[in-house]
Amino acid sequence: MRTWIPTFVALLLAAPALAADANTIMAEADAAMNRADDQTITWQIVNMKPGAKEPENMLFVSQVKKTKTLTSFDEPANLKGTRVLVLARSQMYIYLPQYQKVRRIASHVTKQGFMGTSFSQADMNSSFGDVYDATLVSEADGQAVLELKAKPDSDAPYAKAMVTIDTEMDHPLELKYFNDKGENVKTEKRTEYECNDEHNVCLAGVMRMEDHTRSAWTELRRKGWELNSGLSDDVFTTRNLQRGE
């Protein structure tokens, strides 16, 4: 009996350390994804809807400053001029040119498909620690797998996520999302990273989301990237959302 007591005690002592390491890894990833002062990114969307024979294509530009994002659609023609402003997880607005009005997006809508894609607006959020607690599942070969569980009373879009993080770059490579029944509803893969050594900022070249509930997928393919251009806070206001400057 005495032989297993030291092992049991060691396991008890190791558990808090593993949890602490996991939250540290998650915090470092959050910091890395938000390290830039600002970014302007041009994305091509290749979107395959359920039952479609061919994917549809869209083009939009995202201006990002920490947790704030202004997204402006250029293609297709029926979306041109549509703009979406994100100020926080639960504070989002949309401007539809056909109505020439700014409308607030209800919080439950942010967890649905964004503009008919497999990405929700919540999927595009660049932080985990505010809504998830992390546990380290494994760590090897420069990658860490974290299990993220939604914090009580948080606005987490999923009950659980399994995230594989490149621990050298501190960016996610794969994200598996689960509903409250434990079902893997979506899987996202981020590839073709490019890193700016001067600013120590990295960005994926391709982000692909598979929606297992609809047999659909969407790819965001980076077409342009401008870093730390000095975007004004005035860009990220509802007044500017309507003016489109």
Residue partners of 44: CB distance under 8 A and separation at least 6:
57, 58, 59, 220, 221, 223
d(CA 73, CA 80): 5
Q: What per-residue confidence (pLDDT) applies to 244?
A: 65
Write the CATH number for 151: 2.50.20.10
For residue range 62-76, list pLDDT tens digits in order: 999 988 999 999 999
Cα dihedral value 123, 126, 132, 134, nearest 10: 120
Tally the domains of the chain.
1
229: domain range?
A: 5-243
Model pTM score? 0.87
For residue range 176-201, list pLDDT tens digits in order: 999 999 999 999 999 999 999 999 99
Q: What average pLDDT score do residues 4-18 get? A: 48
For residue range 99-136, list pLDDT tens digits in order: 889 999 887 777 778 888 999 988 988 889 999 999 99
